[in-house]
Amino acid sequence: MSIAEDGARAPRTPLPGAARESRILPMQMRLRAMALSLAAAVAVLAAHPGCGPSVLRSSDEIGSAARPESSPLRVLATGDARGYFEPCGCSRDQFGGVPRRATYLAAARGAGDLLIDVGNLTAGDGPLRTAKRRASLEALAAMKYDVFVPGPAEVFDGDAFLTDLGKRDLVAVCANWHRTGGSLVLPPWKLHRTADGRTVAVVGLTAMERQPPDGFHTTRPDDALRAALRELRGKADAVVVAAAMPHPDVQHLAAAAAGASLLVGGCTPEADGDAKDAPPPAAPLEVAGDLGAFVTVIDLSGDLSFGGSRKVWLDEGTPEDEALAAVVRKYKETVSNLDPGYIDRLIEGHRAKGFAGSHACAACHSKEYAVWKQSRHSHAMLTLEAKQADRDPECVPCHLVDLPPAPSVRANDLGLGCEMCHGGSAAHAESARAGDAEPIKTPVRAPQEACTSCHRAPFAKEFDLATHWPRIAHGK
């Protein structure tokens, strides 16, 4: 539930969900979640171009993000970035990215305001996951977040997360994450001082894990919240609850938030909407997340009660903060050096699937080859090279499906070859070279399947096969 400043419900955006399974998501699932979330943002903005204060673009707000005179405190909340450091650049109008976020936060944040992130910094596994976690913590520290709440991704990483957290100037809180034996892993809350001298407590909560890593366990967040609210009586003028949990779970938690001024929850991939049986909330509930594509801005009134909110989408018109852009470049350099043999293994994998390389098609299919050679498909790796992502295992598989015609040819000069759409053709090419009257046929993928396997949001929004197919149409 998102409450607009005029008291009406803001247009809802489909939320991604499922905290536990998202701890280490396969690439396709993560991309699907990103596609749904960012496509939904575009749909909201397109359908409601004049929808008022509840859904805005960051570039429109910068320089004119006037806060209500009656608001002594603004809460700015983000979360669920999952290592999404910047838009990939494959399509226009992609939202998100920490360099844009830093620019917007610097413009919107005032003295004494409260900046919160509700967790799930990373995804994937192995060294890539570690690189994402470390770069994400570095970014939050650079943007001077007041409070970080660990999500399921951080709980899953356990001591590895805590070690990296300890190297950053960043306060993390969580009232229901414990070590075996009962002690809390982190402080349950932080006391924050407003510009006018009042005290606001921020209570952190994470999703309850059935199988946390060895040495840790989580308890019921509603029980932990009630206990925290009791302990905070007389210690704070207001309480903000920050919950790194799937949205339906946060809706249930809101029933236990009596006495809090605000509850901010993180959304996670695959949440399909509201909890059908959620009881009435005891405090205003706002959502932050969607792969870091927007900032949730909440103004509290003079008595520190809810005064209004909006989602501010980080759009392409927002300048990138150079310090945070440097953090992203450093991350990319780290990823590029994680696995020097990755590209060679990928190419050998294509060869093992019976690929011959697009050059093997040219002799018999010269017209079709000429159409392909003039397309951007033929050199798709150059796009990644320009983005310093040409060794990123999350990007390369959609940009490199071909074999080099000679060992001297750079992998970065390749792209999506004929066999991306038509399947491995080594047997077919060999049969044709041998002069067989009827060469072995190559399996042909349907054009729509071949195109939409990559051309999907956020990489290509509103992709229409009938419109785009004529640009590369060839053969019969």
Q: Would strands 114-117 and 73-78 be described as parallel, antiparallel, or unpaired?
A: parallel
Question: pLDDT at position 23, please?
Answer: 36
- The pTM of the full predicted model, rounded to 2 decimals, is 0.84
Q: In 3-state terms, the chain is what percent helix, strand and coil (to 5)?
A: 35, 15, 50
Residue 71 bridge partners (DSSP): none
Yes or no: say if 390 and 381 are a contact pair by the CB < 8 Å rule: yes
User: Domains in the chain and their CATH numbers?
Assistant: 21-333 (3.60.21.10), 341-472 (no CATH)
Is 463 in contact with 456 (CB distance < 8 Å)?
yes
- Averaged pLDDT for residues 302-306: 94
pLDDT digits (tens, 9 = 90+) for 110-145: 999 999 999 999 988 999 999 999 999 999 999 999
Task: Calculate the alpha carbon distances from 108 to 66, 104, 173, 286, 338 in Å.
Answer: 8, 6, 24, 18, 37
To the nearest 10°, report the CA torsion of 288, 90, 443, 431. Answer: -140
C-alpha of 208 from chain center: 22
Give the separation between CA 177 and CA 429, rounded to whole angstroms: 59
Distances (CA, A) of 224 to 189, 190, 337: 11, 15, 43
Q: 3-state DSSP call for residue 116?
A: strand
CA dihedral of residues 401, 454, 28, 81 (deg, nearest 10): 120
Q: What's the angle, vertex CA 75, arms to CA 54 and CA 262, rounded to 5?
A: 85
In degrees rounded to 5, what are phi and psi of residue 452? -75, -10
- Name the average pLDDT for the chain: 84
First to last CA, the chain: 52
* pLDDT tens column, 346-392: 999 999 999 999 999 998 999 999 999 999 899 999 999 998 999 99
Compute how many other C-beta atoms are within 10 angstroms of the C-beta atom of residue 18: 19
Evaluate if residue 291 carries a pLDDT over 70.
yes
Query: Is pLDDT larger for residue 33 or for residue 365?
Result: 365
Q: Give the mean pLDDT of 83-109.
A: 89
Tell me the H-state helices in 175-284. 221-231, 247-253
